[in-house]
């Protein structure tokens, strides 16, 4: 799906708090990427009700830009891609396999959306992703270069290629952190997701979005999952557990007591107003 002239780029930039003249250059790409992550929370309130959220651009603007809500990967990256295209970038939608903790790449389906962004005048494309709901997520895009390490907004990442039986090169995004093992991990470098450069279309993500948003076996239909990021901390509410990870490495956890406390927390800390009729805890 390609952005049309109806997209309100100025309204989107106000929502994420990014000031400046958007241009198709690396500085704009990095700045808008980071501002989006800090400006719009990740959340699964629709899927928690077994409802697949709409991926139509007008609905995404109403929910994530105009409304006091966030979304999950398909919503975030579809909106972000529209903003990039309105700014003059060329964007390819990619489908990735989340492999955190997996023994094999093939054991996970392609359920994550990421973006390949071409910047005029740059020698190669960038991997961009504002919708990966994990502490190992990119905060800034990284060039599609195998083996090189990149630091963006305090997080370290690299891309590697791994052997697999398919005809296309398989890329793996790794984040630097505690050693947890899993596929394509190397010491403290933990694999996040794997992807090829095959383009995926809006119709493809409509299908996988319906699966993730409605399947009772989907992790997003089973328990609450909300996160936000700012310059000082990463805040995650998973079920009843609230985890705050500071940039200095300090971690604090506590359990929420009831729905009322959760609703207040979502509004005050995440900027999310819970829709009427939603049950946060099963």
Annotated catalytic, 73?
yes
Burial grade of 100 (CB within 10 A; 0-12, 13-18, 19 or more):
middle
Annotated catalytic, 112?
yes
Q: How far is CA 238 from CA 25, 89, 150, 193, 254, in A?
A: 36, 35, 28, 20, 11
Out of 33, 129, 157, 234, pick the active-site residue: 129
Token digits of residue 266 = 């979502």
Out of 76, 112, 157, 234, pick the active-site residue: 112
Token digits of residue 35 = 């501002």
Strand ranges across the sheet with 251-255 = 42-43, 225-229, 233-238, 241-246, 251-255
Give the three-state DSSP class for 246: strand
Q: Are 244 and 270 in contact (CB under 8 A)?
A: no
Out of 33, 46, 73, 234, pick the active-site residue: 73
Annotated catalytic, 3?
no
Provide the annotated active-site residues: 73, 112, 129
């Amino acid at each position: 799906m390609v952005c049309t002239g109806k997209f309100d780029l100025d309204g989107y930039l106000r929502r994420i708090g990014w000031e400046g003249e958007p241009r198709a250059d690396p500085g704009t790409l990095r700045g808008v990427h980071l501002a989006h992550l800090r400006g719009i929370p990740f959340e699964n309130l629709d899927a928690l009700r077994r409802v697949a959220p709409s991926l139509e651009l007008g609905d995404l603007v109403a929910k994530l830009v105009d409304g006091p809500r966030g979304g999950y990967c398909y919503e975030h990256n579809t909106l972000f891609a529209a903003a990039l295209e309105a700014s003059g970038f060329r964007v390819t939608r990619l489908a990735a396999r989340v492999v955190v903790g997996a023994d094999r790449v093939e054991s996970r389906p392609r359920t994550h959306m990421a973006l390949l962004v071409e910047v005029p005048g740059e020698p190669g494309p960038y991997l961009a992703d504002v919708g990966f709901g994990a502490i190992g997520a990119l905060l800034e895009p990284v060039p599609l270069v195998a083996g090189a390490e990149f630091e963006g907004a305090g997080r370290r990442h690299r891309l590697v290629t791994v052997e697999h039986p398919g005809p296309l090169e398989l890329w793996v995004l790794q984040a630097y952190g505690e050693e947890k093992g899993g596929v394509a991990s190397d010491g403290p470098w933990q694999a996040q997701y794997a992807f090829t450069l095959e383009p995926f279309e809006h119709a493809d993500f409509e299908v996988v979005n319906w699966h993730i948003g409605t399947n009772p076996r989907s992790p997003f239909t089973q328990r609450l999952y909300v996160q936000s990021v700012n310059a000082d901390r990463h805040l995650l509410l998973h079920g009843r557990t609230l985890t705050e990870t500071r940039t200095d490495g300090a971690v604090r956890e506590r359990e929420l007591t009831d729905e009322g406390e959760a609703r207040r927390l979502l509004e005050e800390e995440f900027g999310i107003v819970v829709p009427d009729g939603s049950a946060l805890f099963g």
